[in-house]
Amino acid sequence: MAATAVILLFTAFLGAGLYGARRAQPGTEQFLLGGRGVPLWMGIVAMTAAWVDGGYLLGTAEGVFKHSVASGLQGGVLYGMSLVLGGLFFASRMRRAGYTTLVDPFAARYGNQWAAVLMVPALVAELLWCAELLAALGATFGVLGGISHNTAIVTAAMLVTFYTALGGLWSVAYADVVQMAVMVIGVTLVASMIAPALAARPYSPPVTDWPAAESLRFADVSVMLLFGGIPWNCYFQRVLSCRSERDARTMSVTAGLLVSLFTLPPLLIGMAATNMNWPDEVLARLRQWPSEVFPAVLRYAVPGWVGFLGLAAIVGAVTSSYSSSLLSASTLFAWNLWRPWRGEATRASIRSGIALIALLATLLALKAQSVQALWLFTSDLVFVVLFPQLLFALYDPRTTRTASITAFVVSLVLRLGAGESLVELPALIPFPEWFPHRTFAAVAGLVILPLVSRWRRPL
């Protein structure tokens, strides 16, 4: 029964994607940006759906279940606020210039060769995001049962890749509308079913006393989320598909507020889960794997039909984000790598990029043991090395390639030198444990770019 219901769900997503493909007209701009004619309402829904992914839902519930309300709110609210900042300070400039990707301002300022280097962290981050989303989907099915981990990953990857390659942005946008509706209905219903349990047993945070060092690390990650959510091609692809500068700004700000607001249902689910009467074996597993608290609620704490709608919400969240990131990564490949080399980005080259990214993401999701850790670390690097580059490429006409290279290298060395336990990278620079090394590395780039630009002549 569960397998049949999931197949019907995937079929609905596929149908929406195929319907959107009928809207796509000939031309590269139509395929990549919807001809810059995506309606405002659809842009808002699509961007919100892309940002509210499986990690967002599961991570919010995990944070409040494992630590505190602040931990639960951190990711969703700050990533939402990053869209607000992007709308206020970046969307209009990018749309006015008529760029196609995040990397275009780098190419315009520093040339295609150095822009291709700056593209690497953006492309790798999108690839790993695709893999992390597929892995999260497989893990969710593993907890709920009915469909195997590998089957869920491969099925989702094949269906979403098919309609994305068929219609590009229009297919993704129409599918996003259906997926967002499923998310809203499923997550809201689960939260409303859980609310009485929370009223009967008020939430008590597991962690009430944070050491100063932990507070500084929390602040460091918060800064990364707030500004690191801006330099993503997935974000700017939506911005650049709008009909006007005003629509681009409005879409980004509105979607950012909706993304922040959408933390409430998974937050309530995680809060209620802290005081539930779990079976001993389930409680032991949740203490070891708190990321499974949301799927566990769907399986053990609500009626079966409500649990299915919650599962549908997670599937919708994952597939909407996966299709957006898949198209985004292939756009970078075709527009900023293939086009400068071969002189044109054809639909064939874009579809080849989609197929390649989908294959790599699926293999990573099936084989890698730490896709999420790799994605988190790469997202960290996107903030550290790309946010300063984007800010000055758009706002400082005196920025030079020499300054860009210098800032990139210094920020990268500082961040890698701090080490990262998630990927077992040893620390080579003896920063204190409490030191906000992410923010420090990014600020180094923000300082170096204008100083070197005014001190050295361009290469």
Instruction: Look at the block and give the residue holding tokens 């700017």.
Output: 236
Overall number of domains in the chain:
1
- Dihedral angle of Cα 389, 168, 163, 19, to the nearest 10 degrees: 140
Residue 394 sits at the vertex; the CA angle it makes with 393 and 395, to the nearest 5 degrees, is 100
Instruction: Give dist(CA 107, CA 401) in Å, integer.
Output: 10
Instruction: Look at the block and give the residue holding tokens 């997550």.
Output: 187
Instruction: Give dist(CA 325, CA 347) in Å, integer.
Output: 17
In the chain, what's the furthest Cα-to-Cα distance? 68
Q: What is the pLDDT of residue 156?
A: 86
Q: Is residue 159 part of a domain?
A: yes
Q: Is residue 213 part of a domain?
A: yes
The answer to whether 267 and 73 are in contact (CB under 8 A) is: yes
Instruction: Give dist(CA 316, CA 413) in Å, integer.
Output: 38
Helix (H) / strand (E) element for 252: namely helix 245-261
Return the closest-CA partner of residue 106 out of 121, 92, 88.
Answer: 121
DSSP symbols for 366-401:
HH-S-HHHHHHHHHHHIIIIIHHHHHHHHH-TT--H
Return the closest-CA partner of residue 80 out of 255, 251, 231.
Answer: 255
Q: Is residue 417 part of a domain?
A: no
Instruction: Give dist(CA 434, CA 14) in Å, integer.
Output: 47
Tokens of 253: 């700000």
Return the closest-CA partner of residue 157 out of 364, 348, 5, 333.
Answer: 364
Return the closest-CA partner of residue 43 out of 340, 260, 206, 256.
Answer: 256
Q: C-alpha 33: how far from its chain's center?
A: 19
Residue 91, C-beta contacts closer than 8 angstroms, at least 6 positions apart: 239, 245, 248, 249, 251, 252
Instruction: Give dist(CA 33, CA 118) in Å, integer.
Output: 22
The answer to whether 190 and 335 are in contact (CB under 8 A) is: no
Burial (CB count within 10 angstroms: exposed 0-12, middle 13-18, buried 19+), residue 432: exposed
Q: What is the pLDDT of residue 370?
A: 58
Q: Is residue 20 part of a domain?
A: yes
Burial profile 272-281: b = 16 or more Cβ within 10 angstroms, e = fewer: bbbebebeee
DSSP alpha helices (H): ranges in 290-386? 293-300, 304-333, 339-342, 347-367, 371-381
Residue 52 sits at the vertex; the CA angle it makes with 49 and 58, to the nearest 5 degrees, is 145
Q: Is residue 43 part of a domain?
A: yes
Q: Is residue 273 part of a domain?
A: yes
DSSP symbols for 189-246:
HHHHHHHHHHHHS----S-----HHHHHHHHHHHHHHHHHTSS-HHHHHHHHTBSSHH
Return the closest-CA partner of residue 198 out of 265, 104, 276.
Answer: 276
Tokens of 168: 């590009």
Return the closest-CA partner of residue 235 out of 41, 86, 116, 383.
Answer: 86
Q: Is residue 409 part of a domain?
A: no
Query: Which structural domain, as residue segments, surrounds residue 257?
Result: 2-372
Q: Is residue 365 part of a domain?
A: yes
Return the closest-CA partner of residue 378 out of 319, 445, 425, 338.
Answer: 425
Return the closest-CA partner of residue 224 out of 11, 379, 49.
Answer: 379
Burial (CB count within 10 angstroms: exposed 0-12, middle 13-18, buried 19+), residue 89: middle
pTM of the model: 0.93
Instruction: Give dist(CA 296, CA 329) in Å, integer.
Output: 32
The one-digit pLDDT tens for each residue of the chain (459 residues) are 566 777 788 889 999 999 999 887 888 899 999 999 999 999 999 999 999 987 788 888 988 998 899 988 998 999 999 999 999 999 999 999 999 999 999 999 999 999 999 999 999 999 988 988 888 777 777 666 567 778 888 888 999 999 999 999 999 999 999 999 999 999 999 999 988 888 788 888 887 777 877 889 899 999 999 999 999 999 999 999 999 999 999 999 999 999 999 999 999 999 999 888 888 888 888 888 888 888 889 888 888 888 888 888 888 988 999 999 999 999 999 999 888 887 788 888 899 999 999 999 999 888 765 555 666 778 888 999 999 999 999 999 999 999 999 999 999 999 999 998 877 889 999 999 889 999 999 999 999 999 999 886 555
Residue 204 half-sphere exposure, CB side, CA atoms within 13 Å? 4
CATH number for position 44: 1.20.1730.10
